[in-house]
Structure 1
Amino acid sequence: MNTIQWHVDKNEDKLFSYPQIQQAAHLLQENEVVAFPTETVYGLGANAQSDQAVAKIFKAKGRPADNPLIVHIAQLSQLELLVTHIPEKAVPLMNAFWPGPLTLIFHKKSGAVSEFVTAGLDTVAVRIPDHPVALALLTAANLPIAAPSANLSGKPSPTHANHVITDLNGKIAGIVDGGPTGVGVESTVVDCTGDIPTILRPGGVSKEEMEAVIGQVDVDPSTIYPHDKPKSPGMKYTHYAPTAPMYLIDGEKEWAQQLINQKRLNGLRIGVLASSETARYYKADLVLDCGSRHDMHNVAHNLYYMLRAFDEASLDMIFAETFSKEGVGAAVMNRLEKAAGHQMIRQSEGQ
């Protein structure tokens, strides 16, 4: 397949009318798959109402079919076509965070989207992205668009168009290059079908930010221990992993450097993901500074880019520091834990 690539300046006016956007929207209307930027990561979009189109997403990504997808819409009026009703507590969340990196789960309206989108569940996950290119494309296509991250399943999500090209060139119809994304980690997913909104996946909107708007918000244990039948993307399978095995390290930097030295003496090429506060201390084959512990939004922004950079260095093992789970740190640690397959080495355990 010949994958068309369009370059679009997100800062230009009237993006809706750009021929690149119109061409990409036409492909979506023809049930083809097109990658495009959002404020979180690049998404892999297809007509959410078409079994044929959605099946192409799973084929391109190599994604298990029992993993539900998020539906992206351009405006709030489209939501009523997808869901049976809008719960009371969802309204202030939408008012506060849409457009933005927040996905809400509702009871779906029968026949509104392909069963492939919802993995057979009676719920549907929906968001309005906060990115001018994404909104222009969604508006031009005039369709609800199912769009998981535009990467091969299990690999770090793409934050640059080049990441999409590396993973999916020749497997999809088109890629809209709108420059690097902003947030860097996927949207927060919140189940609004119960009495208390419940986070199923931490992301770009923190628990603390939502609680400031609506009061109590719960966190589902599935953020650590996946369900057999996930209600949200990212709940069941290993995700976000670089090629080399990754281990989280919990201890003093001196202890961590000794661990690195031991592995290198054994002939292994070692990578280290560290904060700005400690990155200069480490000696390894590749040390990447992902940002200050005092700016977790910047750490989140850099995370996937750096996980992919490790792949380019042909490493044997990667060690990653741990971070606070306050605010967006919860999303960072969720992705790191999944990238490491929950493997952690602790100084306190004498390892």
Structure 2
Amino acid sequence: MPVYLDYAATTPLDARVLMAMQPYLTEVCGNPSSLHCFGQAARRGVMRAREETAALIGASPSEVFFTSGGTESDNWALRGLAEERRKAGCRHIVTSAVEHPAVRETCRDLAAHGYALTEVPVDAAGRVAPSDVAAALREDTALVTIMTANNEVGTLQPIAEIGALLRARGIPFHTDAVQAAGHVPLDVEELHVDALSLSAHKFCGPKGVGVLYVRRTLRIAPLLYGGAQERDMRAGTENVAGIVGCGCAATIARVEMGAEDVRLRAAAASLRTALSDIDGIRFYGPREERLAGILSFGIRDIPQDTLLIRLDLAGFAVSGGSACSAGAAHPSHVLCAMGCPPEEARTAIRVSLGRFTREDDVAAFADTVRAIAKE
């Protein structure tokens, strides 16, 4: 049976989450906006999920908005904040050079429509320096957006430190926490963030459900018009079963996160050790201050697509980086921003471990990579 090692792209649905969702796919069939008992049963499911999701990030339920996924949440946060801040004459955006395409391309589109954009560099580990963010700020800075954890190499950013300096300046701060939520502790108060994006399918919840946290004191333009759903901010009938699944997955992740981090960190360290003596191998990202389950590496003279195909034929599913950039001919913008030469970046693959990864899966994968490299 094939071994799935691409948890950073998406995670398998936890059986406990599916069980929680099932009633809302069948007998609890009402529209949450309806006043009758069917509608109110659905509404209670959404309200409970909002509380469960808020607890994962230390927010108030009233600050949690459900979306269709992380990409929508990122787009809404950036466009909604940019539109609102433009009214005060603020048309400058600060981001990093290693953001997910959902943030990177949205920022660049805003730049094409009259906003100034500054992309802050990163060091060789993919980390942003708070001093560089501070240096990039201007009087007309509308917002800053820096991801919590990188989806390709796993680097954790100093979000709390950046958030503190932005709070002192009164500049709204958004973080794309899609890769981090459910895997590392997040508290919006301790991080000093004003908006935060996450996606349920990154922590064993259903696909098609995302979340945008917006601090209650922050003004942001609505995303969709035409209904009173999500407190008049995002019109449209709620994906009730998906939202319930998101809440259940958030609770499971919050409870099991600590033990899971220890297990995955040990598994990733074991994998790194098993691969480290391969001739021409190079690992990307920091050893510490990283997501436990992500390991990025390349082997000299073995192109990325060759290694991916050989591994797939051997029964191992891994990726070349962001799932949203799959098939792109250009090398990873993340690795290039970290100082990796383009020809070297074209060898890199990403292995991501998760809840259902077994020790023997990791050992078998290491043996296969070593055999391919030897050939």
Relative contact order, higher structure (CA 8 A, sep 6+): 2
TM-score, length-scaled by structure 1 = 0.31
More helix by share: 2
